[in-house]
Structure 1
Amino acid sequence: MVDIVFGFDFGVKRIGIAMGNTLTGQAQPLTVIRAVDNATRFQVIGDLITQWKPARLVVGEPRHPDGAEHDMTLRSRRFANQLHGRFNLPVELVDERYSSAVIPQKRGEIIDAKAAAIILQQYFDAH
């Protein structure tokens, strides 16, 4: 059975989303959500979940290079918990410490979706 999996790069201003499937184990950027309020963010995510029907969600968990937690670590965990609570899907956290290091540092929203794809690819590579 082939399952769709979504990956998320959570940010306060934007959330990058990627998708992939368990057959190919390949992640690709899907979209970026740029919404100020949680209601709109979760509405867009809900619409994507209805459209694609992922079996699992993966959220990047940012940390300092030494592994220590920081403010965004806790925010990402909270976001993961909200995803699980709202959509009743399994959610896994993936260490994203060096995911942005492999993306060219040009400004623009597509970077967030590419970061989500790297996070999701790390999940596929580990499983």
Structure 2
Amino acid sequence: MTGALQRVLGFDYGTRQIGVAVGQTLTASASPLRELRARDGIPDWEEIAALLREWRPDALVVGLPLNMDGTPSDMSARAEKFARRLQGRFGLPVHCIDERLSTFEAKQTLRDSGRRQHGSYRDNPVDSLAAVLLLETWLGGQTKET
């Protein structure tokens, strides 16, 4: 990436929900956008297209769920396929990043902030916050490279 301000969308891929965040390279910060519903890992591609039209990102980042030892998990192949489909459908650069513990960290962040409401995970999804964490990790790596 060049030193110019660039907007990036990050995706925390899941089979039922996909968290989305937006970030930019100038500050290496990100903000949660929303959770997209998915059916067996397949999103509503028009919803993604609408987000891309609205935010006009220069690149996309997809979290790659690896096992703790760094080996691919059962979900890794599905996340990589999602990343390839994003690139194929929208023609933007897509980067995958190790997302180990991002959902765990997102849940902990909500608990620590007191924002976590009572109820189930389904009632209080953390996927967009997990997308923020993985996107900020990726953005932080970009600022070190420039």
Counterpart residue number, 2:88: 85
8 A contact 2:14–2:38 mirrored in 1? no
Specify which of 133, 137, 145 is matched with residue 118 of structure 1: 133
Greater displacement, 24-33 / 83-92 = 24-33
In structure 1, give the amino acid aligned to 2:138.
Y
8 A contact 1:18–1:27 mirrored in 2? yes
1:16 and 1:109, CA in 2 relative to 1: closer, same or farther beyond 3 A?
farther
Residue-pair matches, total = 126
Find the structure with the greater CA-based Rg.
2
State the distance in 1 between where 2:38 and 2:66 align.
24
Counterpart residue number, 2:97: 94
Is 1:19 aligned to 2:34, yes or no? no
TM-score when scaled to structure 1? 0.92
State the distance in 2 between where 1:112 and 1:57 align.
16
Q: How do 1:47-86 residues align onto structure 2 when only pairs under 5 Å count?
A: 47-86=50-89
Name segments (4+ residues, structure 1) moved above 6 Å: none
State the distance in 1 between where 2:102 and 2:140 align.
13
TM-score when scaled to structure 2? 0.80
1:109 offset after TM fit, Å? 4.8
Tell me how large the CA RMSD over aligned residues is. Answer: 1.6
Give aligned-pair identity as a percent.
40
In structure 2, give the amino acid aligned to 1:103.
A
Any gaps of 5 or more consecutive residues in structure 1? none
Any gaps of 5 or more consecutive residues in structure 2? 109-115
